[in-house]
Structure 1
């Protein structure tokens, strides 16, 4: 037990494997506990936090002299401070700007703001490539391009270059809802059948119409609001 959780001069192969499993579990729990923002939308502060958490978490595997006690204490400390800073950032806007950074305007009314590009260490080529990813090939069509604190670039087009929506031409559209999964890997999802207002017999009839005799051969089946079944067979 000392070899696993305590300080040792040399880790055996068994101890190394057990420590690796424990570190993996701790890393998973930390990842689930940290706010989703820190994983999906990395700001500068979040980026530094993730790197430090990774280094601390893996330290007992790399060095036998590092016990799990020495790992848990800084992990809990960092988690506490991240929670506190996130809460304060929501309450006080200036504090949030200090830790998360401010948005920077890269294009203003079709003109590139060169000083902001230099300040953010972004070249014109990189800016143009980001625009091309969003199917924009002419800077003059862009009203605003804003570098967000999470390093994403938001683009607002001039009205003439904006895509036409059904509301613009007063076109009535049917409301769209997410399809419900009614069969997953050969098994009925009963709660979704109830939500959709159908039963197993109805679904089996739909499968027969698609020449599917056994439910076990269905990998995935979904049902949309118009009672249309999408089917994916196994293999």
Structure 2
């Protein structure tokens, strides 16, 4: 059974696109925002290696345009689906991860996201803060960037449960 060459390109593009989305998700969001020279070379080589698997032996202009059109449509469709479904968005992009909360580092999250102390400290300094102890909140965003919010050192204690405190005060009055 011979398959239409353009349908073949469409199916190949869908397969490669889904593979690349899952591979990027699997290898971590940290890699997205911090492209080194080796990362750039990697991306160029990956795109070159999957190009032939998308168009097969069809190296015509129309074959390339079909492949590009399919990729644009898939990307648009994926963004539309993620816009309407928070669970799909979370599956594809992940969730932000808290790295520092009120001057305390979450070591488990650093290990989970493969972020070294040096990388965290560098991100904190890039935000003009000299120490993690002066950080109210540092979050690894879904795009791989680390957002940092400064806090006043004497106000960095985590907020207390005010409802609970009121109940204690009521108990003391009785």
Superposition TM-score tier, normalisation by shorter sequence: 0.5 to 0.7
1:71-86 aligned within 5 A: 71-86=64-79
Choose from 105, 121, 126 the match for 2:119: 126
Q: Which residue of 1 aligns with 2:106?
A: 113
Hey, what's the Cα distance between the residues in 1 that align with 2:85 and 2:116?
32
Aligned residues: 114
Q: Which residue of 2 aligns with 1:91?
A: 84
Q: Which residue of 2 aligns with 1:67?
A: 60
8 Å Cα contact 1:107/1:142 also seen in 2: yes
1:150-229 aligned within 5 A: 150-159=143-152
8 Å Cα contact 1:56/1:71 also seen in 2: no
Hey, what's the Cα distance between the residues in 2 that align with 1:53 and 1:77?
18
Hey, what's the Cα distance between the residues in 1 that align with 2:105 and 2:90?
23
Hey, what's the Cα distance between the residues in 1 that align with 2:84 and 2:154?
37
Unaligned runs of 5+ in 1: 1-42, 163-235
For the aligned residues, what is the CA RMSD? Answer: 3.5
Alignment CA distance shift 1:158-1:137 (3 Å): same
Please report the TM-score for the alignment, with normalisation by the length of structure 1.
Answer: 0.41
- State the Cα distance separating 1:69 from its structure 2 match: 2.3
8 Å Cα contact 2:96/2:139 also seen in 1: yes
Hey, what's the Cα distance between the residues in 1 that align with 2:153 and 2:113?
29
Deviation track 1:79-105 (CA, whole Å, cap 9, x = no partner) reads 111101101111111111111221011
Alignment CA distance shift 1:52-1:88 (3 Å): farther
Please report the TM-score for the alignment, with normalisation by the length of structure 2.
Answer: 0.55
SS in 2 for 1:136: coil
Deviates more, 1:152-161 or 1:112-121: 152-161
Q: Which residue of 2 aligns with 1:24?
A: none
Hey, what's the Cα distance between the residues in 2 that align with 1:126 and 1:137?
14
Hey, what's the Cα distance between the residues in 1 that align with 2:71 and 2:45?
9
SS in 2 for 1:102: coil
Whose strand fraction is larger, Structure 1's or Structure 2's?
1
Hey, what's the Cα distance between the residues in 2 that align with 1:155 and 1:113?
14
Hey, what's the Cα distance between the residues in 1 that align with 2:66 and 2:73?
11
